[in-house]
Structure 1
């Protein structure tokens, strides 16, 4: 079955929704205008209930089908990024320094399109819970919505989500059971020595050489402490120190992003990171403080739900356009918290050639919205059939 004809007829309306959202990006939990726009569309669509103010600006809306049955959750994130847009599109961001560079405007549009179809047809049993989540990029809005009890409050039994994938063939779905995306932790290391003149290093305690030693040693953790068949990444992404060519600075700092898939590997990476920093601080005579931010857990798909979602995707785009055993990746997602709370699956939807995610020239491909909406709609109809 291709894109549902009824949803295909919404294509221009969906494009209008998406481009409005793109022009008015908001960050983190401060998605007030975005939430108001979504709530207005949901009222026009005719959903049965709209619950606002969850995780500050999140929304859960309910559509009731025919007769009793379980509740299935469908999630779309809605926050933007602090990036100055460079697309030059007529619908480019009107907010300086903010843009939808990850396609969350497209995710919202796909879910609204599915909602319109499901509210019109009601060709399912039980209830659909439409989850519009803030703060995926920064703040863990998925975790907050779970902590605020949406799964129990609305009786959600399983949950699904989609992320767009630029430079993956248009209309192709990819996913895999088990770990799909990595956990993400961030370490900030602050080093204090004794500054002074660059001509008299013997009178100083140089934090620069300490930073160099620590960074080099940290790069040995994965090849020498992690089993070779376990995927993990440590990337040092910032080093800051010094003000002039003839001054040994008093302080230095660096930070790193740390990613893997398994809790025991995650704990090992943290342990070794601390040990290396502390040991090198002693060796170089500096003091060091590590602020280790324990971030999103790995996004782990449930096997049965992943196989089911892949089967639905094949209905929509054909068997040759679905890879249900795709490679996992080192990016992260706070949908992980929802998959910890309930069984479900997360999938990527290819949107064809274009700038990559988090790039200032990125723009969501509007032609993909009816594909994602059709997937969500068919997922509900197959998971909770009438009769």
Structure 2
């Protein structure tokens, strides 16, 4: 078994979720030590790592990014290298993405780029939408600020090794939004003596999912959780909350949807005499692909005789890499992980080992370009 597959299996056995990736980072660090990168930056944006390989001549700085974190989900598949951590598993393929970037590191250690620099970035906390922002906020990001940034994601449901491309939006932007309502608790025999958020929640649960109809481009509002009072039959509730995910293909549409949702919540809270607090979690920017880089990746796929397809519509899910596309020309593309591969985040999902070599070759071809 080659060293990259072995590395992936080790990473798969020892998953760490967002913000806890210190052992994973150490394993990556140990892998890179014999490769002698020109510079190593540790603890970037938390547990992040950057390895810099410098070319023979001055030129552009390219960044290739992968993710360190696993998911807080119990693995139900049964590989020989099954997760040893209860309730945590690599069910999104970040173990495979790391192995691919490690493979690119091996290639760069053998042959430095002709010109410029290549930065291999291992980013923490992708799943919570916090990692990219933490990297960008780190003062040492200036040492690796790229001219161009690239990333890939494996895609179940697409033929194995197929390269999936898009110009413009590749994946939607999204944000989690929580509405917290405070009224006044009373005896359930005298609900009129209190202020119960039930009516506000009922109205919002009906009206909020209709808001995307008022947005020009594609958008979606999905209710995910509601809470009202507590299970005390003698009590009329005085508190309630409603949680939702808002997403759109265009950042302006997403901002407009957020604005409309907040305005509706404020209006109904005011009518129902409730205090309202709004909280945002898991923010993901729209992943926007640069037009010129599209040609670079397409040619790379063609040179390797890989089947490259253009996806008609963006993906509805979000990727933390989107934030990099607000700071430099960026490109996120997909690699098919098989038509019968379980979907991402499913308990039986497992990254296909045969994709590691394909990913390394595509990235290597991009470096040459």
The aligned residue for residue 64 of structure 1 is 54
The aligned residue for residue 234 of structure 1 is 221
Is the 1:146–1:341 Cα contact (8 Å) retained in structure 2?
A: no
Residue 284 of structure 2 corresponds to residue 296 of structure 1: yes
Is the 1:307–1:324 Cα contact (8 Å) retained in structure 2?
A: no
Given candidates 141, 149, 152, the residue that maps to 1:159 is 149
Residue 341 of structure 2 corresponds to residue 354 of structure 1: yes
The aligned residue for residue 313 of structure 1 is 301
Deviations 1:93-117 (A, max 9, x none): 1112211111111000001111112
Is the 2:63–2:119 Cα contact (8 Å) retained in structure 1?
A: yes
Residue 134 of structure 2 corresponds to residue 144 of structure 1: yes
Aligned counterparts, 1:1-387, within 5 A: 12-122=2-112, 124-138=114-128, 140-149=130-139, 152-154=142-144, 156-198=146-188, 200-223=190-213, 225-227=214-216, 230-241=217-228, 242-244=230-232, 247-293=235-281, 295-318=283-306, 321-352=307-338, 353-382=340-369
How far apart, in 2, do the equivalents of 1:212 and 1:52 lie?
49
Is the 1:238–1:255 Cα contact (8 Å) retained in structure 2?
A: yes
Deviations 1:108-137 (A, max 9, x none): 000111111222133633321111111111
How far apart, in 2, do the equivalents of 1:297 and 1:195 lie?
39
> How many equivalent pairs are there?
367
Q: TM-score, normalised by structure 2?
A: 0.92
How far apart, in 1, do the equivalents of 2:270 and 2:138 lie?
44
How far apart, in 2, do the equivalents of 1:148 and 1:317 lie?
39
How far apart, in 1, do the equivalents of 2:201 and 2:36 lie?
59
Is the 1:177–1:307 Cα contact (8 Å) retained in structure 2?
A: no
How far apart, in 2, do the equivalents of 1:377 and 1:361 lie?
31
How far apart, in 1, do the equivalents of 2:54 and 2:163 lie?
28
Segments of structure 2 that go 5 or more residues without pairing to the other structure are none
The aligned residue for residue 7 of structure 1 is none
Is the 1:151–1:157 Cα contact (8 Å) retained in structure 2?
A: no
User: Equivalent residue of 1:132, what SS?
Assistant: strand
Shift of 1:291: 2.0
User: Equivalent residue of 2:304, what SS?
Assistant: helix
How far apart, in 1, do the equivalents of 2:136 and 2:126 lie?
13
Shift of 1:189: 1.1
Using the TM superposition, name which of 195-204 and 17-26 deviates more: 195-204
**Would the alpha carbon gap of residues 291 and 155 (structure 1) be closer, same or farther in structure 2, given more than 3 Å must change?**
closer
Is the 1:67–1:126 Cα contact (8 Å) retained in structure 2?
A: yes
The Cα RMSD (Å) is: 2.1
**Would the alpha carbon gap of residues 158 and 288 (structure 1) be closer, same or farther in structure 2, given more than 3 Å must change?**
same
Q: TM-score, normalised by structure 1?
A: 0.88
The aligned residue for residue 8 of structure 1 is none
